[in-house]
Amino acid sequence: MQYSSQAVAKPYFIAAIGLFVGQILFGLIMGLQYVVGDFLFPAIPFNIARMVHTNLLIVWVLFGFMGAAYYLIPEEAEKELHSPLLAIVLFWTFLIAGVLTILGYLLMSYAKLAAFTGNSFLPTMGREFLEQPTITKIGIVIVALGFIYNVGMTVLQGRKTVVNLVLMTGLIGLAVMFLFSFYNPSNLVLDKYYWWWVVHLWVEGVWELILGSILAFVLIKITGVDREVIEKWLYVIIAMALITGIIGTGHHYYWIGTPEYWQWWGSVFSALEPLPFFLMTVFAFNMVNRRRREHPNKAATLWALGTAVMAFLGAGVWGFLHTLAPINYYTHGTQITAAHGHMAFYGAYVMIVLTIISYAMPLLRGRAANSNKAQVLEMWSFWLMSIAMVFITLFLTAAGILQVYLQRATDTPLAFMAVQEKVALFYWLRETAGLVFFIGLVIYLISFFVTGEQKLAVPAGATAMN
Amino acid sequence: MSSEIFTKSMARNIYYGGSLFFILLFLALTFDTSRALPNRDHRENLTPEVIKGKAVWEENNCIGCHTLLGEGAYYAPELGNVYLRRGGDQGGTDFIKAWIKAMPTGAPGRRQMPQFNLTDEELDAITAFLKWTSQINTANWPPNREG
Ligand code: HEM
Ligand code: HEM
Ligand SMILES: [Fe+2]
């Protein structure tokens, strides 16, 4: 850590990990409800568990992005953060708003929450991933504005590196696209059309800029490869991401009432969306192979490479699997979608946050890298969680293929619920893989408390390696 | 990539130029879509009742279990075409209202749908909304009635 204000990243990372645990617990509850339908009913109906699961995911990934920005922007700008105090105030605001919202989901019926928070004045609730009460959404916007002001001032007054500029563009884009969550026309087709401007243009648009810049930062630090080379790669990756991903939104406009020409625009451009993810993999391995130093943090290197590979598999390969219109006609809204959603979110956005945490947390705790013992444990958690996620994806894909054959691509279609019973075996297997994921997560937590010999400790202020 | 034929500033220009071009193209397509939509979504049938139905749909988080036109959760059946699946103009409305009122089934081990305690007015609204939704031109999706 080179600037003392980078320390504000620490609470953000800790909160992220805490909410991650909550997310997975609710995932396990739902996984069981898939096969034991009345589990925890009516205390926690499936829809409530799902909101908690997906909203915690989004919120903790946002905590991770903010922590990453607070850590790397001062270092890149070569200047202290504009206002560490603001960063801490916003941290507590965001955490309290987030926890209250989750408690609202769990402690009252959703209809009551909607009434209680005055949803009818500006209805924005009840849409997938955007279930938060309108006042929470307003809170998110306020936090985002304060955050962007804080890091933005730092960038403006400091060194303007490509990593910083791309990260800032991604963060501003994230905030701007979120504004579409306030637009909820009563015409369902329009509602869906613009809903994707938040969801798709986040994960296959501006978030890729955030992903790319964090990855670039970590690779600069751990490989010592010339910044010029890495920045050129970063530009190529984000150029491909936006060139393919913006029109690629069309892969969600096949069957929601929008004109048929979207089947062409969506298929052609989204079929190219794997390219930036493929480049990211080539980039990460190339840089690590050409490394000019042996960084003591082996775990961070593993996470960085893992991110590139798993993002390519989840977003690139599993995305391509169902993105062409004639295939999506059969797979749309099945377990295939869930399989892809899981591996893509995990590979790209969970893993990039765990990468920056892995790299930055030891430095925030005053050492270049954790002890060997702690790193070995962390690497175990890497493999357990990643392999478990591969199996979750495979089992859901199997369930999805059967679902398509039994319910859709047949002359004698079975009803939805009948099909669900027939594929129950794969849901049991998914739940088992989910438990392994959870074990991996527990080991991950433990790795933070393992000390071991501190041969890697460095005096404060002496961590500058670049 | 380290070759100097392809420089960093070329990469940056492709990023800026390409992004700008495709943002503009996307806006143009959005404009064209907006003009084509009225014939496909039949917005002339968006009565106050249908609009209220969408609010009931949202304020009870139905999307948390069901898909609607293939989007949402995958725990419970597709509802974009439920009106047609359950009899259309011959019984679709009555079926949906009776179904919602009868929940939960309480059948052991079976997936359960909560009791939302909707008023008669809300029940009429949600069915009107689902009927309207079933009439959207979705390019022939879903492949069959089972959704
Ligand atoms: C890291 C990047 C990505 C993430 C996090 C991600 C995540 C998701 C999620 C969560 C959904 C489900 C949305 C819903 O609930 O309705 C989804 C849908 C979809 N994704 Fe991705 N995705 C990514 C990249 C891609 C890419 C690169 C492609 C194409 C090559 C792709 C193709 C699709 C398609 C076609 C659907 C719609 C599935 C359906 O019709 O049901 N995704 N994605
Ligand atoms: C123990 C592991 C997990 C289990 C058992 C689990 C289970 C589930 C279930 C049952 C659903 C709802 C599917 C439906 O709508 O019917 C779901 C949705 C989702 N989960 Fe998980 N989950 C787990 C881990 C994760 C992780 C690690 C991530 C993030 C990377 C994640 C991201 C998501 C997303 C994005 C959705 C929405 C998917 C969509 O709309 O297509 N889950 N999960
Ligand atoms: Fe997409």
What single string gives the DSSP state of each residue in A31-95? HHHTTSTTTTTTTS-HHHHHHHHHHHHHHHHHHHHHHHHHHHHHHHHTS--S-HHHHHHHHHHHH
Q: Look at residue B4 in the predicted model and tell me its pLDDT.
A: 77
Q: Which letter, b or e, does each residue of A63-96 get, where b requires 16 or more Cβ atoms within 10 Å of its Cβ?
A: bbbbbbbbbbbbbbbebbbbbbebbeebbeebbe
For residues A407 and A451, membership in a common domain is answered with yes
Whether A437 is covered by a domain: the verdict is yes
The interface predicted TM-score (ipTM) is 0.97
Domain that holds residue A256: 173-183+193-466
Q: Is B55 on the interface with A (CB under 8 A)?
A: yes
Q: Is A100 on the interface with B (CB under 8 A)?
A: no
CA distance A382 to A303: 7
Tokens representing A138 are 């307003």
For residues A204 and A319, membership in a common domain is answered with yes
**Alpha-carbon distances, residue A223 vs A216, A219, A297, A447 (angstroms):** 10, 6, 11, 24
Whether A453 is covered by a domain: the verdict is yes
In chain A, whose CA is at the least distance from the CA of B141?
A: A255
Across the interface, do B70 and A332 touch by the CB < 8 Å criterion? yes
Q: How far is the CA of A377 from the centre of ligand 1 (A)?
A: 32
Whether A198 is covered by a domain: the verdict is yes
Q: Is A285 on the interface with B (CB under 8 A)?
A: no
Question: Omega before B104 cis (within 30°)?
Answer: yes
Does any ligand 1 atom lie closer than 6 A to the CB of residue A245? Answer: no
For residues A179 and A137, membership in a common domain is answered with no
Q: Which amino acid, B16?
A: Y
CA distance B56 to B59: 5
Does any ligand 1 atom lie closer than 6 A to the CB of residue A337? Answer: yes
CA distance B133 to B96: 14
For residues A156 and A198, membership in a common domain is answered with no
Question: What are the phi and psi torsion angles at A314 (to 5°)?
Answer: -70, -50
Mean pLDDT value across residues B77-87: 98
Q: Is B12 on the interface with A (CB under 8 A)?
A: yes
Evaluate if residue A361 carries a pLDDT over 70: yes
The total number of structural domains that make up chain A:
2
Evaluate if residue A463 carries a pLDDT over 90: no
Evaluate if residue A465 carries a pLDDT over 50: no
Reported confidence tier of residue A458, pLDDT bands at 50, 70, 90: low
Whether A168 is covered by a domain: the verdict is no
Q: Look at residue A340 in the predicted model and tell me its pLDDT.
A: 98
Residues paired with residue A238 on neighbouring β-strands, in sequence order: none
For residues A457 and A352, membership in a common domain is answered with yes
Q: CATH no. for residue A372? A: 1.20.210.10
Question: What are the phi and psi torsion angles at A88 (to 5°)?
Answer: -75, -40
Whether A165 is covered by a domain: the verdict is no
Average pLDDT along chain B: 97
Mean pLDDT value across residues A17-33: 98
Report helix angle A424-447 to A9-33, nearest 10.
160
For residues A147 and A179, membership in a common domain is answered with no
Q: Look at residue A44 in the predicted model and tell me its pLDDT.
A: 98
For residues A156 and A197, membership in a common domain is answered with no
Q: Residues near A4 by Cβ (< 8 Å), separated by ≥ 6?
A: A80
Whether A188 is covered by a domain: the verdict is no
For residues A149 and A232, membership in a common domain is answered with no
pTM for the model stands at 0.96
The neighbourhood of ligand 3, an ion, using CB within 5 A, equals A 200, 204
For residues A426 and A281, membership in a common domain is answered with yes
- What is the tens place of the pLDDT at every residue in B90-144? 999 999 999 999 999 999 999 999 999 999 999 999 999 999 999 999 999 999 9
For residues A266 and A375, membership in a common domain is answered with yes
Q: Residues near B5 by Cβ (< 8 Å), separated by ≥ 6?
A: none
**Alpha-carbon distances, residue A339 vs A349, A399, A427, A431 (angstroms):** 15, 9, 12, 13
Whether A365 is covered by a domain: the verdict is yes
Tokens representing A425 are 């075996």
In chain A, whose CA is at the least distance from the CA of B104?
A: A42
Q: What are the chain B neighbours of A188 within 8 Å (beta carbons)?
A: 41, 54, 68-69, 132-133, 136
For residues A83 and A204, membership in a common domain is answered with no
How far separated are the first and last CA of chain A, in Å rounded? Answer: 12
For residues A273 and A126, membership in a common domain is answered with no
The residue assigned the tokens 């936006």 is A242
Whether A166 is covered by a domain: the verdict is no
